[in-house]
Structure 1
Amino acid sequence: MKLRGVVLRDRDTDVQLDAADWRVIRVWEHEDPNDAADRIHRLVLERTDSPASPPPHWSGTT
């Protein structure tokens, strides 16, 4: 099954990136771009000591 191969490849890629201290963030084409930007912003803040600038559309509510 082709999908199974893609899933296995993605999991292997995730493991390799994690080992290199990268954080994998998947944004799907059906997701609202603002929601995705907010999610990414929160994840960046979790990984840094200093706050990052919020996404341009950010209203201050999450």
Structure 2
Amino acid sequence: MKIKFLLTCNLERILKEQNITPYKLSKDTGERIGTIYKLVNNQGMDNSRLSTSLLYRLN
């Protein structure tokens, strides 16, 4: 199957702007630290589940 698009995440930039560590975000949101690090490093974006609560808190 040919990939037609590429998802990227700016979470690393957002966390730096808000002076928040991935660990603190994990504790505050209850999200798995592994999921947050995947988003920070743009890994596994094609099969990661993103919770709406995490997306809302980043806004």
Same fold (TM > 0.5):
no
Higher RCO structure, 1 or 2 (CA under 8 Å, sep 6+): 2
The structure that has the greater radius of gyration is 1
